[in-house]
Chains A and B, each alone.
Chain A
Amino acid sequence: MTYRIQGATGEWEVVIGLEVHAQISTLSKLFSGAATAFGAEPNTQVSLVDAAMPGMLPVPNRECIRQAVRTGLAIGAVINKWSRFDRKNYFYADLPQGYQISQLYHPLVGEGAIEIVPDDKHPDVTKVIGVERIHVEQDAGKLMHDQHPTMSYVDLNRSGVALMEIVSRPDMRSPAEAGAYLAKLRTILRYVGSCDGNMDQGSMRADVNVSVRRPGEELGTRTETKNVNSVRFVMATVEHEANRQVDVLESGGKIVQETRLFDPDTGTTRSMRSKEDAHDYRYFPDPDLLPLELDDAFVEECRASLPELPDAKRHRYETALGLSPYNAGVLTADADTARWFERLLTDSATRQGKSESDVARAASNWLTSELFGALNKLGRTLGDSPVSPEAGAELLALIGDGTISGSIAKQVLEKMLETGDAPGVIVEREGLKQTSDTGAIEAAVDAVLAANADKVAQYRGGKEALFGFFVGQTMKAMQGKGNPQLVNQVLKAKLG
Chain B
Amino acid sequence: MSELTELGIAAIRDGVAKGDFTATEVAGAFNAAVAEANPALNAFIVTTPDHALAAAAKVDAARSSGQPLGKLAGVPIGMKDLFATEGVQTTAASHILEGFIPPYESAVSQKLWDAGAGMLGKLNLDQFAMGSSNETSAFGNVISPWRATGDTAARAPGGSSGGSSSAVAARIAAAATGTDTGGSIRQPAAFTGISGIKPTYGRCSRWGIVAFASSLDQAGPMARDVTDCAIMLEAMAGFDPKDSTSLDLPVPEWSTQLSDDLKGLKVGIPREYRLDGLNADVAKSWDDGIAWLKDAGAQVVDISLPHTRYALPTYYIIAPAEASSNLARYDGVRYGLRELPEGAGLQDMYAATRAAGFGPEVKRRILIGTYVLSAGFYDAYYTQAQKVRTLIARDFENAFKEVDVILTPTAPTSAFALGEKTSDPLEMYLNDVFSVPASLAGLPAMSVPAGLDAAGLPLGLHLIGRPFDEQGVLNAGLAIERRAGFAAKPAKWW
Contacts and interface: CB of A to CB of B under 8 A. Distances in A.
Interface of A: 48, 51-60, 87, 89, 91-93, 96-99, 152, 154, 280, 282-284, 287-290
Interface string B184-211: 0000000000000000000000111111
Interface string B80-115: 000110000010100001001011101000000000
From B241, B329, B347, B373, residue with most partner A Cβ within 10 Å: B329
- Main secondary structure, interface of A, reads loop
Given A97-B329, A154-B333, A287-B214, A91 B244 contact: no
B214 A93 contact: no
Contact of B104 (A53, A97, A99, A288): A53
B322 A287 contact: yes
A87 B84 contact: no
B331 interface: yes
A289 B373 CA distance: 18
Contact of B106 (A51, A55, A283): A55
Closest 8 CB pairs of A and B: A98-B328, A282-B373, A287-B214, A287-B215, A52-B329, A55-B208, A54-B210, A280-B375
B333 to A, nearest CB: 5
B325 A87 contact: yes
B485 to A, nearest CB: 40
Contacts of B272: none
A55 B206 contact: yes
A195 to B, nearest CB: 25
Contact of B331 (A55, A59, A91, A280): A91
Contacts of A55: 83-84, 102, 106, 206-211
Nearest to A90: B328
B193 to A, nearest CB: 30
Contacts of A96: 329, 333-334
B271 interface: no
B378 A99 contact: no
B386 to A, nearest CB: 8
Contacts of A58: 244
B21 interface: no
Given A280-B375, A287-B214, A57 B329 contact: no
A334 to B, nearest CB: 38
B104 A89 contact: no
18 contacts: A48-B103, A54-B100, A54-B329, A55-B211, A57-B243, A58-B244, A89-B328, A91-B347, A93-B346, A96-B333, A97-B329, A98-B325, A98-B329, A98-B331, A282-B374, A288-B214, A288-B245, A290-B245
B416 interface: no
A59 B375 contact: no
A190 to B, nearest CB: 31
A96 B335 CA distance: 11
Contacts of B328: 89, 91, 97-99
B139 interface: no
B334 A51 contact: yes
A338 B249 CA distance: 49
A263 B245 CA distance: 45
Interface in B309-338: 321-322, 324-325, 327-329, 331, 333-335
A142 to B, nearest CB: 14
B350 interface: yes
Contact of A282 (B325, B347, B350): B325
B286 interface: no
A283 B378 CA distance: 9
Contact of B241 (A54, A59, A287): A59
Contact of A60 (B84, B209, B214, B244): B244
Given A280-B374, A280-B375, A284-B378, A57 B242 contact: yes
A54 B244 contact: no
Contacts of A154: 333
Given A52-B334, A154-B333, A284 B207 contact: no
B30 interface: no
B370 interface: yes
B396 interface: no
Nearest to A150: B343
A58 B242 CA distance: 8
B213 interface: yes
A54 B207 contact: no
Nearest to A59: B244
B382 interface: yes
A54 B322 contact: no
Contacts of B84: 53-55
Nearest to B92: A54
Contacts of A284: 321, 325, 373, 378, 382
Contacts of A282: 324-325, 370, 373-375, 378
Contacts of A57: 206-207, 242-244
Contacts of B207: 55-57
A53 B334 CA distance: 9
A289 B244 CA distance: 6
A87 B214 CA distance: 13
Given A96-B333, A288-B245, A289-B245, 5 more contacts: A51-B334, A93-B346, A98-B329, A280-B375, A282-B378
Contacts of A54: 84, 90, 92, 97, 100, 102, 210-211, 329, 335
